[in-house]
Amino acid sequence: MHIMYVDESGDPGLNTYSSKHFLLNGLIVPQDDWQKYLGRLKAFRKSLKESYGLNQRTEIHASELIRINKLEEYKKIRKTDRIKILELYSEQIPVIFDKARVISVFFDKANFTGKQDVQEIAWNRLIQRFDNFLKMSVNDKGIIIADDTESKKIIRLLRKMRVYNPILRREQGEAINHPTDNVLEDLFERNSKDSYFIQTVDVLAHLLYRREIVKGSLRKYRLEQYFDNVEPILLKEACKNDDFGIVRK
């Protein structure tokens, strides 16, 4: 059994006021290693408390480590140290989750029309890759746990994909039904403040965003390079046309 923890970044809208990008990150954790990974996460959080005074119960929220909005406790930590926490986290992710895998979906919404549902397409791509991974893992099974999202929509999508999920086979010139029947149950939701695993995926999502969209004022921190640290556990088979396996359409 594998558990995929998922976090979204950006909004799915296609209007003038929406974000220009929408992305998903999925962290696939083997059931047998879950307890070990939790222990490593706790040890890492303890080290952050000792080095930077970050309480172990305080939620790690990547965007707020860069620019504080709601988390008052972050104000006790200098900005350079908050960004250092992100760098350390990126370095520790492949160490803590040594047998895990990461699937990344990054959509530039300029490539979509107003009639398309960006969120649903992104989730379709993510679920499909997770199911492919499970089928390759000796026909294993898995579940999905996500931070707050439009769960009813994703549950409908997941149920539909279990029955009808056409995949275009270019060599055959036709679509073949490829049910995602290795993903069990409906989507489970978990608040990020209560899960170190979801917080880890939040970090992954934000570092992917910073890699793809480089902000000049943050270049001195090399934020755009931090996502490279998790390369050892990226599921590059998710998109063979991308060096990092990032699904872009």
> Are the beta carbons of 247 and 106 closer than 8 angstroms?
yes
**Domains delineated in the chain:** 2-238 (3.30.420.10)
**Count of CA atoms in the C-beta half-sphere (13 A) of 66:** 18
pLDDT > 90: what percent of the chain?
79
Note the pLDDT tens digit of each residue in 20-54.
899 999 999 999 999 999 999 999 999 999 999 99
**Side-chain half-sphere CA neighbours of 136 within 13 A:** 9
Q: What is the DSSP pairing of strand 2-9 with strand 142-146?
A: parallel
Q: What letter would DSSP give residue 234?
A: B
Residues with Cβ within 8 Å of 4's Cβ and at least 6 positions away in sequence, in order, are 26, 27, 28, 29, 103, 130, 142, 143, 144, 145
- pLDDT tens for residues 169-224? 766 668 889 999 999 999 999 999 999 999 999 999 999 999 999 888 888 989 99
